[in-house]
Chain A
Amino acid sequence: MTGGAAIQRMPTGISGFDDVAVGGLPVGRSTLVSGTTGSGKTLFAVEFLARGVMRYDEPGVFVAFDETPDDIRRNAAFLGFDIARWEADGKWMFVDAAADISEESLTVGTFDLGALMARIDRAVRQIGARRLCLDSLGAVFVRFRDRELIRHELLRLIHVLGSLDVTSVLTTERDEEYGNVSRHGVEEFVLDNVVIVRNILLNERRRRTIEVVKFRGGTHRTGEWLFTIDQTDGMVIIPLALLAPRERASQERVCTGNSQLDAMLDGGVFRDAVILLTGPLGAGKTLSALQFADAAFRAGERCLFHAFDETRDQLSRSAAGWGLDLDAMEASGLLRVTAAYPEVASVEDRFLQIRREIRDFAPARLVIDSLSALERRSSPRTLLDFVIALGGIVRQDEITTLFTAAPAGVGTSPITEIANLTDVTILLQYVDGTAAVQRAIAVLQTRGSGHDHAIRQVSIDSAGMHIGDPYPGVFRILPETATMPAHPHRGTTGLGPDG
């Protein structure tokens, strides 16, 4: 921020969060993390401390009101956090404030939370803590009935934390996903910095998001960011980087696997292109995808192929029917096929898997066949985020990527929006012929390049897909809701008869 009073940020180490928060949490301040039951706010708190220990060697104090330290140790172990060891090493300390149901108690007259503050102060000093979590403020309100007194005491506590030079995460409960920031109005104390985690169940599809509502004296990225909870990486906020300007664009062209299609595209696609190929069932999407993978194989490049419409065996059989030996390609080590029904994993988990495979396998090409299958498993917004997030990675690594999809329905499908984000949009369609159903292909857009604007005939046989002459005369194959993007095209390129 301008003004020179910018507050420093402390990186949380939570995957993706520091990008959203533009550096992390405001140093030396308290940040309220609010969410409904099961939204992941406790995980955020635990991981904030755990990453501090693991990555930054910063000790942390956990003030446990909701769950007992034992519960927290046990739950954290599933994510590979060995809290007991960190405690032994003086890197982690619990202040156990969980309710003890074995002891009866009574409140008579006024009181304060002085003992709690003394215990927190002791813990912070004892291990030299830089980070602190209190989970949760709501539990404090439940424990003590005098709300005004507790509000006052929490305000005092937050001042104490400020003087202790720790960066704090205070969790609190919300009753609904889109309502007041918190149940007890405690957000007023820490109005400066507020993060909301959501766990939205819509049409039986779960969607987890995190949003930085406000940070004092600093910038952050707005909006809800998709996240998932991963066994290996913990909380992972999925970065949406596609819309960021690219530093450089590839000028190198690569083959699509079909020389006639390459010709329509003015000589193939740019190496960093993201291609969307839409078409109804049986129009040739999977064939095009397999030919695209074959082009990588022929060029001696690696290709990652995710199939969601067919099993691995079905895919092999289809490929064989078009003269492609999928097994041999895979045996060469250049092709890696993952065939799984979309219901097996959430779209967010799928993203993490693909990201890991890109890291390990370093493919030159990526195929997702098809997005429409994934759409069954996600909300439209989630699918859009998936494409955006994946797009950010493949562009950066210059991985030529092909997404296939069924044609967008009328106004309801995210595929229409996705078409606006991709570099190349190709449409396969059935047309009414005089005697039989025929297929047609058209290139709707190629960013940064000219292309053939003709609607051409397509035939498929045992040697694959063949693109022929333009259909004569006035002809319409575009869907009712045009997948046509709003970007102006550069000049038209004529296309001679293909040789």
Chain B
Amino acid sequence: MSTPMTTYSFRLYVVGQTPRSASAASNLRGLCDTYLPGCHEIEVIDAATRPDLAEEERILATPTVIRVAPLPKFRVIGDLSDQGRVARFLGLPGVNAASPDGPER
């Protein structure tokens, strides 16, 4: 299990300033504030202005969030409206990872 001091790093890919982009960003921030207070960083990338960065990570769908650190990488597609599922899938500390919604496939 990760120690509380591990910094979690996320990259959120969106396209433009849409309501969907905004809700994905606020859902991700809410998660981090709950489970990773003071030990997380979030980078938001707009694929419309930086398609090269979307290309690097081969992003197709937006919004997509990638947990870039700690490894392994996980990615979640969508507006992250179900925060509990997202937290479990991303393996955030303090979440029951053994639930049926843990990492799939």
CB neighbours of B54 from chain A (8 A):
115, 118-119
Candidate in B54, B60, B81, B85 with the most chain A CB atoms within 10 angstroms: B60
The reply to whether B104 and A108 form a contact with Cβ atoms under 8 Å apart is no
Q: Say yes or no: A109-B15 contact (C-beta < 8 A), given A95-B55, A119-B51.
A: no
Docked CA distance A121–B55 (Å): 11
Docked CA distance A118–B82 (Å): 27
Chain A, residue nearest B66 (CB): A103
Task: Place the interface of chain B in its size category.
Answer: 35 or more
Residues on A facing B (Cβ under 8 Å): 95-97, 100, 103-119, 121-122, 143-144
Chain A, residue nearest B60 (CB): A116
The reply to whether A103 and B75 form a contact with Cβ atoms under 8 Å apart is yes
The reply to whether B74 and A105 form a contact with Cβ atoms under 8 Å apart is yes
The reply to whether A110 and B20 form a contact with Cβ atoms under 8 Å apart is yes
Q: List 28 A-B contacts (CB under 8 A).
A: A95-B55, A96-B58, A103-B74, A104-B72, A104-B75, A104-B105, A106-B74, A106-B89, A106-B104, A107-B77, A108-B76, A108-B80, A108-B82, A111-B20, A111-B61, A111-B63, A111-B79, A113-B61, A114-B14, A114-B16, A115-B51, A117-B15, A118-B47, A118-B51, A118-B54, A121-B51, A143-B60, A144-B61
The reply to whether B76 and A107 form a contact with Cβ atoms under 8 Å apart is yes
Partner of B85, one of A105, A106, A111: A106
CB neighbours of B82 from chain A (8 A):
108-109
CB neighbours of A144 from chain B (8 A):
61
Given contact pairs A104-B105, A112-B15, A115-B62, enumerate 10 new A-B contacts (beta carbons under 8 Å). Answer: A104-B74, A106-B86, A107-B77, A109-B79, A111-B61, A112-B62, A113-B60, A115-B51, A115-B60, A119-B59
A contact face: mostly helix, strand, loop, or mixed: mixed
* Residue B13, interface by CB 8 Å: yes
Docked CA distance A144–B74 (Å): 17
CB neighbours of B55 from chain A (8 A):
95-96, 119, 122
Candidate in A106, A116, A143 with the most chain B CB atoms within 10 angstroms: A106
CB neighbours of B103 from chain A (8 A):
104, 106
Interface string of B58-97 (1 = CB under 8 A from A): 1111111000000011111111111001100100000000
